[in-house]
């Protein structure tokens, strides 16, 4: 199981305020006009290639313009320098399975009623937590239609958060009792599935997510609409026969397949077919079988200040209230987790050993699976299951971006969008240092510096000004 990453204390007081004074005062559009240079650290560019040591990355506006050893890079005289010595620069992580409407709360039946009327606060909190954790892009798979407007705000840099794709509600035949109606679009026939798919595409979704109960005939009808529109289909699948049906029906991305022993290992025929055909797999292997034992062994993680303090007070109170006793294993979400853990290694290793096309997705926001740490835990789980560190990092950056069709991010090279994070240490030695992200740049804008998110410094400056007046 994974060892939690160390977390040095963030920059505080006058030093932090001084570091962010310019950032706070300058709106996002103006921030993109500057030239930045990250200088001195190790560089991992997202490819499965050796690192560049003592490297430099130059950013003009929101684009990367130069990458290489610092001694060989001409750094503009007017560039703002970010000193990365002793650290690692790498592409921002790309999460291929995000949930911005949930935040790790322990009880869905309690959470969804609370969410009503608090959706914007929840969306903004999730987006900030993900970005601060080094996730600079991702796809949100299942949320009310209101998530589409929020996606647009984030992508215009009006709200801090990863660049987002969004599915809106999922397409399903199954009405799970306590789920809100706006989370799903129900159908009873393939014809209705096609109709619901057209409705979602017309509303502006980036992807279609199919959920439990979707048949092979439904998939074919959905594909007949989504395929010509250029909209990929992400399929929630576990059992082998369901995976086969999704593939035959035209599924583009297999979500959860082989995740953490939820089913016994698949037949070699299925695994080989997926690998040979290059069908993307997003396993989400840590969201139960790694996080559950980590919490059993150290329930104090539920009160980790790096997590809890990233919630606004009202959300913090509600999340903590869902874990008031150390008996989270009795919650419905974890009733079958011990069995999943027993089957986990075989199910999780199969696709890695077959060298299947694997993107990194976390199912972040599910119970115990906090946005503030879900990404590093998922990448670490990949290493536990047999990937090398550089393979896991590439899966979480370059490969995930390619699977999601985000061709302008996921790697650090001239011409690409400036989505870059800095981590404290060497993840090729200890993958868990991905848990301490010191700096985050998305779209050429600095959102985190020296361990402190910009919005926290804005709040601190506001409080200081209020006290001073």
Q: What is the mean pLDDT of the chain?
A: 90
Q: Is the pLDDT of residue 196 over 60?
A: yes
Structure tokens at 39: 């200088």
pLDDT score of 467: 55
Taking residues 127-144, report their average pLDDT. Answer: 97
Structure tokens at 444: 């050429």
Task: Report how far residue 237's alpha carbon sits from residue 97's, in angstroms, rounded to the nearest whole number.
Answer: 13
14 or 227: which leads in pLDDT: 227
Q: Given phi > 0 = left and psi -120 to 50 = alpha, else beta, which region is 280?
A: beta
Q: Is the pLDDT of residue 9 over 60?
A: no
pLDDT score of 262: 60
Q: Is the pLDDT of residue 17 over 50?
A: no
Report helix, strand or coil for 192. helix
Select the CATH number that applies to the domain covering 93-403 from these four: 2.40.400.10, 3.20.20.140, 3.40.50.360, 3.20.20.70.
3.20.20.140
Tell me where in the chain the CATH 2.30.40.10 domain(s) lie. Answer: 13-92+411-468
> What is the radius of gyration, based on Cα positions, of the chain?
21
Least confident of 12-21, 92-101, 337-346: 12-21
18 CB-side CA count, 13 A: 4
Task: Report how far residue 361's alpha carbon sits from residue 184's, in angstroms, rounded to the nearest whole number.
Answer: 21
Superfamily (CATH H level) for 13-92+411-468 = Urease, subunit C, domain 1 (2.30.40.10)
Provide the strand spans (E) within 313-368.
358-359
Per-position DSSP letters for 385-402, written without gaps between them:
TT--HHHHHHIIIIIHHH
Which candidate, 467, 451, 463, 448, places its Cα nearest to that of 9?
Answer: 451
60 C-beta neighbours (distance < 10 Å), count: 18
407 C-beta neighbours (distance < 10 Å), count: 11
Least confident of 118-127, 203-212, 285-294, 358-367: 285-294
Structure tokens at 408: 């302008």
Taking residues 63-88, report their average pLDDT. Answer: 97
179 or 18: which leads in pLDDT: 179
pLDDT score of 342: 81
Q: Is the pLDDT of residue 101 over 70?
A: yes
Q: Is the pLDDT of residue 334 over 90?
A: no
Report helix, strand or coil for 250. coil
Task: Report how far residue 192's alpha carbon sits from residue 194's, in angstroms, rounded to the nearest whole number.
Answer: 5
462 or 344: which leads in pLDDT: 344
176 or 43: which leads in pLDDT: 43
pLDDT score of 264: 73
Helix axes 268-277, 337-353, angle to 10 degrees: 50
pLDDT score of 460: 65
Provide the pairing of β-strand 281-282 with 88-91: unpaired
In percent, the amount of the chain with pLDDT more than 90 equals 75
pLDDT score of 409: 98
Structure tokens at 421: 């994070």
Structure confidence at residue 339 as a pLDDT band (50, 70, 90): confident
Tell me where in the chain the CATH 3.20.20.140 domain(s) lie. Answer: 93-403
H or E element: which one contains 67? strand 63-69
In percent, the amount of the chain with pLDDT more than 70 equals 90
pLDDT score of 3: 38
Q: Is the pLDDT of residue 12 over 90?
A: no
Structure confidence at residue 8 as a pLDDT band (50, 70, 90): very low
Report helix, strand or coil for 197. helix
Structure confidence at residue 336 as a pLDDT band (50, 70, 90): confident
- Residue-wise pLDDT for 388-411, tens only, equals 999 999 999 999 999 999 999 999
Which candidate, 463, 457, 286, 425, places its Cα nearest to that of 366?
Answer: 286
Taking residues 66-95, report their average pLDDT. Answer: 97
Taking residues 249-271, report their average pLDDT. Answer: 87
Q: Is the pLDDT of residue 26 over 50?
A: no
Q: What does pTM read for this prediction? A: 0.92
- Residue-wise pLDDT for 149-173, tens only, equals 999 999 999 999 999 999 999 999 9
């Amino acid at each position: 199981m994974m060892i939690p990453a160390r977390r040095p204390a963030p920059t505080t007081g006058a030093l932090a305020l001084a570091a962010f004074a310019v950032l706070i005062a300058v709106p996002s559009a103006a921030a993109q006009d500057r030239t930045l240079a990250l200088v001195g650290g190790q560089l991992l560019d997202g490819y499965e290639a050796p690192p560049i040591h003592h490297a430099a990355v130059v950013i003009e506006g929101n684009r990367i313009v130069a990458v290489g050893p610092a001694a060989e890079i001409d750094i503009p005289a007017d560039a703002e320098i970010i000193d990365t010595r002793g650290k690692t620069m790498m592409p921002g992580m790309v999460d291929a399975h995000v949930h911005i409407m949930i935040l790790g709360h322990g009880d869905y039946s309690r959470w969804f009623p609370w969410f009503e009327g608090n959706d914007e606060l929840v969306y903004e909190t999730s987006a900030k937590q993900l970005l601060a954790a080094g996730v600079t892009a991702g796809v949100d798979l299942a949320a009310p239609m209101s998530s589409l407007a929020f996606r647009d705000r984030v992508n215009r840099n009006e709200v801090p958060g990863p660049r987002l794709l969004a599915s809106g509600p999922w397409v399903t035949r199954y009405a799970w009792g306590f789920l809100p109606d706006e989370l799903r679009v129900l159908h009873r026939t393939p014809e209705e599935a096609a109709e619901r798919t057209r409705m979602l595409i017309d509303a502006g979704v980036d992807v279609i997510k199919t959920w439990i109960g979707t048949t092979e005939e439904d998939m074919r009808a959905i594909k007949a609409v989504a395929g010509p529109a250029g909209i990929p289909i992400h399929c929630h699948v576990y059992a082998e026969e369901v995976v086969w049906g999704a593939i035959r029906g035209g599924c583009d991305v297999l979500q959860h397949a082989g995740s953490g022993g939820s089913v016994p290992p698949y037949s070699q025929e299925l695994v080989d077919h997926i690998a040979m055909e290059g069908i993307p797999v997003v396993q989400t292997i840590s969201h139960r079988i790694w996080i559950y034992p980590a919490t059993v062994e150290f329930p104090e993680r539920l009160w980790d200040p790096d997590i809890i303090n990233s919630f606004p007070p009202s959300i913090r109170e509600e999340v903590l209230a869902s874990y008031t006793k150390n008996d989270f294993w009795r919650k419905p979400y974890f009733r079958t987790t011990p069995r999943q853990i027993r089957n986990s290694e075989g199910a999780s290793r199969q696709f890695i050993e077959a060298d299947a096309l694997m993107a990194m997705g976390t199912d972040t926001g599910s119970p115990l699976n906090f946005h503030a740490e879900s990404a590093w835990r998922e990448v670490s789980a990949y290493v536990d299951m047999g990937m090398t560190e550089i393979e896991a990092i590439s899966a979480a950056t370059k490969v995930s971006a390619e699977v999601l069709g985000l061709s302008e991010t996921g790697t650090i090279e001239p011409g690409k969008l400036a989505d870059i994070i800095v981590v404290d240490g060497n993840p090729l030695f200890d993958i868990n240092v991905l848990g301490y992200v010191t700096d985050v740049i998305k779209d050429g804008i600095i959102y985190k510096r020296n361990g402190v998110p910009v919005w926290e410094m804005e709040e601190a400056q506001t409080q200081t000004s209020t006290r001073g007046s």
